[in-house]
Structure formats: structure tokens, C-alpha cells
Amino acid sequence: MLLALSATAIVVVALLWEVAMPRMVEAFERHRARRARVGDPTQGYDPGRERRAEQRARALLRSCVNDEEWAMYRDLGFIRVWGAQADGPGRGSGRATGGAPYAYLIYPHKPIVAYLPQTGRLLNEYCVEFPDETRPYGSARLPDSDDVLAKWMALTGDERRLITTANMHLPGRQVDPKQVRRDLWRLQQWERRRVAHDLRGGSVPTS
């Protein structure tokens, strides 16, 4: 009799366990979720927010640079800025230009590359950043087009100050020289197309 009652009790407990267990687990998970920290929506990466920021930054960049520079950035992803220092940007590196015209390529969030347009010779890389330490969304990094605009304003406004602030390296430290040469070739082709269209009086194509 006792054995039969024990067996029945065990079966009843097992059945109740089966029925109650999922509900208990669910209740525990709900409790844990309620107690979990809710992430700060102002922190972390939000692709939508970053995309909107980049759109605003592009509009600002477009309103500041000239039509050719904007088209260059839109079509090629970088802007060329002509250098204005008499001896070039070498800063005692032994890589002065000797008065030859030189220029910079401004890429978003990459070093500025100085080069000689006549020969295509790469001069230096200038590693420079514009970190916003207030980090409004957890990151000190400006949108791509704001980074380009900051470099453009600093270069055209006070080239020597920017170049003095930057860390100078030989070409190839961060930006692949093959990529730069390819970009210079693309720039050359792009300019030829623009000149040809200007001569024909047509609108400039976008690639």
C-alpha cells in the first residue's frame, strides 16, 4: 500500500514538474529581463544615425568646397588640394620639392598624402585626426565628410600649422602607394573627361 502511494506521489510530482517547469523558466527569464540594464540609446553604433550624420556632413562639405572639388570627392572619394608652401611640405625631411608644385590628397579618416603632380612621386604621409573628446555618442570620430572638410579647411586655412601638427611618415606606412598611384591615374582620367566635356559644352558625367 505504502509502495503504491509512493509510486503515485512520484508520478504526480513528475507530471506537475513537467507542467510547471516551462512556466517557472519563463517567469525567471522575465524577471531577469526586467532587472537587466537597459542600454543607453545615446551610446553605441547606430547605422541610421551615422548615415544621417554623413548626409548632413556631405551637404556641408558641398557648400564649402568648389564645384570641381565636390565632384572629385563625389566621383573619386578624395579631394586634391594644391600646396602653397614655397619649399614644399617636407619639413626638413630631405624631401622638399625644390619649388615644384605639389599637392595633397585628402581621404576620409586616412592620412593626407603629399605628392608631386608632375611626376606622380609620393612625398609623405601626414597622419592627422580631429578627435572630438566630448564623444556625444560614444565615439570621437567625425563623419567621413566632416573629416575631409576639417582637413580641407585646415590645409587651405593654415597649411603649415596642420602639417606641423601632423605626424609625418614616408609614403606607404598606412596608405598603400599602389592605391595612391591608382587614384592619381583615376584623377587624371577624370580630369580629362571633364575637360573634354567642358570643350564640348556638355554636362560633366558622374562615374
Partner 1 sequence: MKLLRMKPGHGEILLAEGDPEVAAEERELIEAFRAQLDQGLWAAVPIATTAGRREATLVRSFDEVPRDAERVIFFPPAAGGR
Positions touching partner 1 (CB under 8 A) are: 46, 49-50, 52-57, 59-60, 63-66, 69, 111, 127-137, 139-143, 146, 149-150, 152-154, 156-158, 161-162, 165-167
The secondary structure of residue 48, as a DSSP letter, is H
CA–CA dist 143, 56 (Å, integer): 9
Burial 21-43 (b: 16+ CB within 10 A, else e): eeeeeeeeeeeeeeeeeeeeeee
Of 57 and 180, which has the nearer Cβ to partner 1?
Answer: 57
- Residue 163 · residue 126 · CB < 8 Å: yes
Residue closer to partner 1 by CB (options 146, 183) is 146
When the beta carbons of 6 and 139 are compared against partner 1, the nearer one is: 139
Q: What single-letter DSSP state applies at residue 40?
A: P
Identity of the residue, 18 or 40, whose beta carbon is nearer to partner 1 in the bound complex = 40
Which residues on neighbouring strands pair with residue 82, listed in sequence order?
103
Q: Are 166 and 112 in contact (CB under 8 A)?
A: yes
State the nearest-atom distance from the C-beta of 85 to partner 1, in Å. 15
Cβ proximity to partner 1: between 43 and 189 the closer is: 43
Q: Write down the least CB distance from residue 129 to partner 1, Å.
A: 4
Shortest approach of partner 1 to residue 105 CB, angstroms?
15
Q: Single out the residue of 54, 42, 74 nearest to residue 143, CA to CA.
A: 54
Task: Output the smallest distance, CB 81 to partner 1, in A.
Answer: 9
Shortest Cβ distance from residue 161 to partner 1 (Å)?
7
